[in-house]
A and B are shown apart, each in its own frame.
Chain A
Amino acid sequence: MNKKNWLSSLLFQLFKKSPSPSDSLANQYRHHVGTRMLFLTLLTIGIVVALLYDLATGPSSLTYVDLIKGIWSPNSLSMSQQVIIWDIRLPYALMAILVGASLGLAGAEMQTALNNPLASPFTLGVGSAATFGASLAIVFDFSDYGISQTYLLPIFAFSLACLTSLIILGVANSLGGSIQSVLLFGIALMFGLNAMVGVIQFIAEEGELQQIVFWTMGSLARADLEKAFIVSFVLLLCFFISLRHAWSMTILRSGEEQAQSMGINVKRLRLMTLIRVSLVTAVALAFVGEIGFIGLVAPHIARMIIGESHRFFIVASTLCGALLLSLASIVSKGFIPGLVLPIGMVTALVGIPFFIALIYQHQKRNPI
């Protein structure tokens, strides 16, 4: 969608009356598009507000004025304040948004590709596979080969996540995409991978063990701007590729047979989507560890409010993921005063009740 369309839809929504049934269908649809644009704009504003609040929150007090000064003109603040803003809070807050956005995007794509509302990188074991890959990279030190761990961790996490996605895709194809079977398989895979992470932890040395445990809890504490740049590069790349496939994914959502009859290579579309999901998930999680439920929750919120036309759904799910993790980041700092909880714990605490509610809702709609 170009800039002019986006603006005109938003203005249309803000300044026009509600459509009447006598309006043409196209006009009534424009009204729906306008409402969606408004929602996307509100989400973006919400993210900016959450980012600023996240930046201003922390053990050492910084006013909003200091914060803005520190970002626009760092030299106007003391060295310690500059370090707090540029080396701690900004990478932390940005990473929350970028990782949340990555997981929101991955969840939306995975749910459509597998035609499964309970699919997410977390529930189907892709997150656990990334953890296993990262654990391998931590324990088996490959730095002698001249590759920094900053790059090695995401490469290992991606390779294992990608392999897992392909296995899930194979199972989904052979089981005819049955929601329950694929989900059960994913859960079994997750337990298997977690057990393998346990074995790695068992043989790891103290320092390595600490790193792995830190990884499994999911924390933004080791974020820095270089890592944020890597995550944002992969996120943008996958996001724009996803938008390019928005039409195919919308058609796939309306029915696999229709999609195939319209000449869409469904197998290839699914494969490419799951490779993208693995990449964006693994790179995001490689630097912050396992963060569950955002990839499951964000697409559901986006779907409830904006529907499933993928040119809006992809954007909305990405923004929802970013906002949710940014809010979780704020909560993780304010939950116990003076202590920053690993963010993975916060998302799990909020996400588990949501996941149970989803299962109930799904069961009500599709009783066995």
Chain B
Amino acid sequence: MSLELNNIGVAYGTKQVLSNITTDTIKPGSLVALLGQNGAGKSTFVKSLAGLIPYQGHAYLEGMELAKMHQYERLKNIGYVPQTLPQGNSLLAYEVIKSAASALQQHNQEHLIEEVFERLSIAHLAFYPMHKLSGGQKQMISLAQALVRHPKLYLLDEPTSALDLNWQMQVLNTIREEVNSQNSIALLISHDINLALRYCDQVILLHQGNILSIGNPKNSLTTENIALAYKVEARIETCSQGHPIVLVDKPI
């Protein structure tokens, strides 16, 4: 199972917002961070792969063109977690996740739902209506809706933006474990470069709709690239546990 992106581009009308996104084959078990400043095209890129916006070029998941997938293949293979939080409605959190799981008609559906609630430690939220949950809790439910299907490709648009530090760590640990155990691929948008350095195997650094740098985090996230992509002056140090850590000094 692998992901190949070949010359992906997206245009809104006549405005080309993303162009020439080409990567080497992304191998199974990879957690890939999509980084870049606001408006660099990260969300557009992920949305286009999720089928929300048409893209130019080719994106193959295990040889299947993403844009040509039928509903069942899409359900089975793609787990998209949008940046916008789920709506406040009267659905129970359990039902939101059950509705995603039931589409695949797996015989062990109840077990899968139970498992995802346990993995994310959110069983206590199961029978609350969505409108009574906080932003962070809704975000967890949104992630659970993808995890319960064990898709081959995760498209995660800032899945930790509404979470506190503890939950951020728990969620990223869960995603890492999922990617490793299921041999799936996750594209993760984040504004936290340090989380990318710590959890991700690869980084795609976008700048004005193009790839500025791609590769392993240590090589891609250089001070020069960070300065160009984010317009900030930064240092890369090593923390007491031996991980590289980016310290931002000032805007350029």
Q: Which residues of A contact B (CB under 8 A)?
A: 24-26, 28-29, 32, 115, 247, 250-251, 253-255, 257-258, 260-264, 303-304, 307-309, 365
Contacts and interface: CB of A to CB of B under 8 A. Distances in A.
Interface in B70-97: 70-75, 78, 80, 82, 84, 86-92, 94-96
A contacts with B: majority SS: helix
A309 B52 contact: no
Given A29-B94, A262-B75, A250 B99 contact: yes
11 contacts: A25-B113, A25-B114, A26-B114, A32-B127, A255-B142, A257-B47, A257-B50, A257-B82, A260-B50, A260-B52, A262-B74
Contacts of B69: 263
A307 B94 CA distance: 12
Given A258-B80, A262-B71, A262-B74, A24 B86 contact: no
Contacts of B100: 251, 258, 262
Contact of B87 (A250, A253, A262): A253
Contacts of B234: none
A250 B145 CA distance: 13
B114 A24 contact: yes
Given A257-B80, A261-B52, A308-B90, A25 B70 contact: no
Contacts of B102: 247
B130 interface: yes
B95 A307 contact: yes
Given A247-B99, A247-B102, A251-B100, A28 B89 contact: no
B175 to A, nearest CB: 17
B80 A254 contact: no
Contacts of B71: 262-264
B169 interface: no
A253 B74 CA distance: 19
A263 B84 CA distance: 18
Contacts of A29: 92, 94, 98, 126-127
Contact of A303 (B47, B82, B90, B99): B90
Nearest to B91: A308
Contact of B89 (A26, A253, A264): A253
Nearest to A249: B99
B123 A261 contact: no
B113 A26 contact: yes
Nearest to A264: B71
Given A28-B127, A303-B90, A261 B51 contact: yes
Nearest to A250: B99
A32 B126 CA distance: 12
B185 to A, nearest CB: 16
B78 A309 contact: no
B244 interface: no
A254 B123 contact: no
B110 A24 contact: yes
A255 B84 CA distance: 9
B92 A307 contact: yes
